[in-house]
Amino acid sequence: MKRFLIIITTILIAATAFAQEKPKIKKSEFLVVPSAEAWKNVKRGNKYYKKGCRKNRVGAFRLAASYYANALDANDSYAPLLYRLGVSEVMISDDRHAMRHLDDAASLALNVAEDCQYWLAVSKQHLNMFKQAKRDFDECTSSMPSKTKERFAKDVDLRISQCDNGIRLANATEMAKSQPIKGFINSNMPEIAPVFCNMDSSLYFGGKRRDGNVARRKRGKDYDPASDIFAAKASNGSFDEPKNGGKNINKKKSETPAFMTLSGGKIFFARKDKKIFFSHKKTINSRWLKPEKFITKASSVSFSEDSSMVVFTVFNGKDKRNDIYFCKRLGKKYGNAKSLGDKINTQYDEMWPCFAPGDTVIYFASNGAGSVGGYDIMKTVFREDGWSESENLGLGINTGTDENYFQLAPGETRIGYCSSKREGGKGDYDIYKVLLMIRPQVIFPPLPPREFAFEYDRRYYASGDGKPKEKPIEKPRDNDSTAMLLKRLTEDPSGKIVLNNVFFDTDRSDLRPESYNELNHLAQVFEQYPDLVIEVSGHTDNLGSRDHNISLSQQRANAVRDYLISNGVGEEQVVAKGYGPDQPRDTNATPQGRQNNRRVEAKILKK
């Protein structure tokens, strides 16, 4: 539990040991009636403030802030009280109030605390005020005594570097966008580690809620409840009231989800941030079964598309940091764990990795020199010489405070969820929905002669002698106008049509440019029918394994859905479903029949 709390603390690098227990708050400032009650609040606040400073306990700072805020009603111009309240608010990511209180403290008294300007700069960094924060960080050590300056120097240098990243990325193209999820999931307590379940259309997450918590205790060592796994059903683009995931997966410790399989029938989760378990669910309404251990000494886990590789986070106790490791599957078991490499694992924390479709991109969180403050979502791409240097996904998803626990939804190529402490949330970590603005880069490995695919763009195929020969791209059939497409869609007896001019490379889910015209017409149909809801379904032939075909068809349906959404169609208006080989429209005994079975369809659900 203790290490879990360290991981999710906003100021992990600075460490709350930097916070001063001085200056003392004098009782004489709170003796005048009706301020007697205020002094009681000060004493209670002091108790939890000291515990927060000494033990890195966010929940203790949460309690301290509430008591200090009550005391402030009696004396709102007392610098030591404003300082302690401001530091507590930084720790719980209430940065807008923290900035105001710390600024007031600095203006009311000289040398109110050696690090007051430092915490003021941190609050500005959290609020994406990178230029102002950099200026304050540059100046904050000048007035510090030499010992204090030495203690802060490394962290200040890092934060100045992070502010430089923020200034640079402010003018860069957004690689992702994020927005708070709708509904009843986010609260004034932390919600972390979101994973989506296709089986019951629910979002699973770790929450420190007092209501519905299995531990049934008001506070743990952090003065917050232990984290339980909750689930909230998706309904019309929103999420219903969360329900506890059940006593089989939630114990009197701390549990957080880590990974959900494509079918949604198997969940992997972390317990006490030290072990990874997995559990099965047979049907939508059934309970999760008794869990089994999967990995020890790990706090997160994710699998490649074909499950041939697993990546996970391990806490390095010697260096007191989190690193990313991987294992490759050898038959039915996985081999020895290996570090993802020095380009990814730094002297700071790297954690919560997840694969993009195609398995050549890994997204993860880091709070090092590449971030703009706290944890940021990064990506690395597999090259011939291994995994590339990490790249920040930009300010469309990242802020000067923590973004963590990013995970693509099962079967999705661009849509996922993450947790963030940014301004505008309901409190601490909240869950956000993420849309990747760029398609994952897929680097095809070199293929030997006589393989089906030969060149990078898949336009060439190997001939019998091993030499490449060009295969002409099939020309689109007569392009349907919007009116014709609408007519086909609404007048077909089954209410379902094949999207004839939607093309993919062999065994891939990336839309080819020849598909855009057809999909642009389809997007225009929604303009005429604003309440239209359709199902986009992917279908394959029966060659290869069924699991692979189900996954491929789901990804292709997702790709069509993503394209429509990027062209203005509402997310709730398109449902993507992959049926694999289960709904053939022709025989699989002939090449032509198999080609007819490989298709994408659109079906009206509501008009």
CA 324 to each of CA 242, 255, 341, 385: distance values in angstroms, whole numbers, following the listed order: 31, 20, 8, 18
259 lies in the same domain as 158:
no
Query: Based on the domain organization, do 72 and 210 belong to the same domain?
Result: no
**pLDDT classification of 308: cutoffs 50, 70, 90:** confident
Domain match, 388 and 533 both = no
**In the predicted model, is pLDDT for residue 231 greater than 60?**
yes
Based on the fold, state whether residues 522 and 454 are members of the same structural domain: no
What distance lies between CA 410 and its chain's CA centroid?
13
In the predicted structure, residue 447 carries a pLDDT above the cut 60: no
Phi/psi at 439 (nearest 5 deg)?
-75, 145
Mean pLDDT of 246-274: 91
| Structure confidence at residue 590 (pLDDT) | 83
Residue 352, both tokens: 């919560």
Q: Are residues 257 and 331 in the same domain?
A: yes
72, part of any domain: yes
Q: CATH number, domain at 344?
A: 2.115.10.20
Residue 494: the pLDDT is 59
The total of other beta-carbon atoms located within 10 Å of residue 606's CB is 9
**DSSP label of 330:** E
Residue 55 placed within a domain: yes
- The residue among 197, 213, 412, 203 whose CA lies nearest residue 284 is 197
Instruction: Say if 441 falls within a structural domain.
Output: no
Contact 497, 486 (CB under 8 A): no
Instruction: Residue 12: name the closest of 315, 223, 427, 271 by CA.
Output: 315
Q: How many domains does the chain have?
A: 4
Same-domain pairing of 456 and 533: no
Residue recorded with tokens 């379902």? 496
- In a 13 Å sphere around the CA of 257, the CA atoms on its Cβ side amount to 33
- Structure-model confidence comparison of residues 388 and 465, the more confident one: 388
Q: For residue 295, list its beta bridge partners.
A: 276
The mean pLDDT value for 206-216 works out to: 74
pLDDT at 176: 92
**Which residues have CB under 8 Å from 140's CB, separation 6+?**
115, 117, 118, 121, 152, 156
DSSP 132-143: HHHHHHHHHTTT
Q: What pLDDT band is residue 210 in, cutting at 50, 70 and 90?
A: low
Same domain, 413 and 269: yes
| Residue 100 belongs to domain spanning | 2-169
Q: How confident is the model at residue 246 (pLDDT cuts 50, 70, 90)?
A: very high
Percent of the chain past pLDDT 70, that is, above it, reads 85
Give the C-alpha separation, 352 to 456, whole Å: 31
Report whether pLDDT(47) > 70: yes
Contact between 146 and 367 (Cβ < 8 Å): no
- Domain final position from 373, 408, 436: 436
Structure tokens at 93: 């990511």
Distance from the first to the final alpha carbon of the chain: 51
Query: What is the predicted pLDDT for the residue at 343?
Result: 92
Look at residue 18 in the predicted model and tell me its pLDDT.
59
Q: Report yes or no: 222 and 6 within 8 Å, Cβ to Cβ.
A: no
Report yes or no on 338 lying in a domain. yes
- The model's confidence at residue 482, banded by pLDDT at 50, 70 and 90, is low
Same domain, 310 and 414: yes
Instruction: Place 263 in a pLDDT band, splitting at 50, 70 and 90.
Output: confident
Note whether 89 and 227 are same-domain residues. no
The CATH number linked to 164 is 1.25.40.10
Residues in Cβ contact with 363 at an 8 Å cutoff, skipping those fewer than 6 apart: 353, 354, 356, 377, 378, 379, 393, 406, 408
Where residue 488 falls among pLDDT bands split at 50, 70, 90?
low
* CA torsion through residues 194, 199, 202, 206, sign: negative
The pLDDT tens digits of the residues spanning 106-118 come to 999 766 788 999 9
Residue 151: what pLDDT?
86
The reply to whether 442 falls in a domain is no
Residues 579-592: tens digit of each pLDDT: 999 998 888 888 78
Q: Which of 427, 456, 473 is the last residue of a domain?
A: 473
Report which of residues 595 and 271 the model is more confident about. Answer: 271
pTM equals: 0.72
Amino acid present at 21:
E
Which of the four pLDDT bands, split at 50, 70 and 90, describes residue 13?
Answer: very low
User: What pLDDT is stored for residue 379 in this prediction?
Assistant: 94
Question: Is 486 contained in some domain?
Answer: yes
Q: What is the pLDDT of residues 547-561, one digit of tens each?
A: 889 999 999 999 999
Q: Closest Cα to residue 189, out of 403, 428, 4, 421?
A: 428
pLDDT of residue 520: 83
Residue 413 is predicted with a pLDDT of 82
Q: Tell me, yes or no, whether 524 and 545 share the same domain.
A: yes
Q: Decide if pLDDT at 514 tops 80.
A: no
pLDDT of residue 220: 61
Residue 1: the pLDDT is: 39
Q: Give the CATH number for residue 594.
A: 3.30.1330.60
More confident site: 505 or 57:
57
Q: pLDDT averaged over the chain?
A: 83
Last-in-domain residue among 119, 137, 169: 169
Q: What is the pLDDT of residue 20?
A: 61
474: pLDDT confidence band, cut at 50, 70 and 90?
very low
Place of tokens 């004489």: 28
> Does residue 333 sit in the same domain as residue 242?
yes
pLDDT given at position 493 = 54
Evaluate the omega torsion of the peptide bond into residue 23 and state whether it is cis, within 30 degrees of 0: yes
Q: Are residues 321 and 237 in the same domain?
A: yes
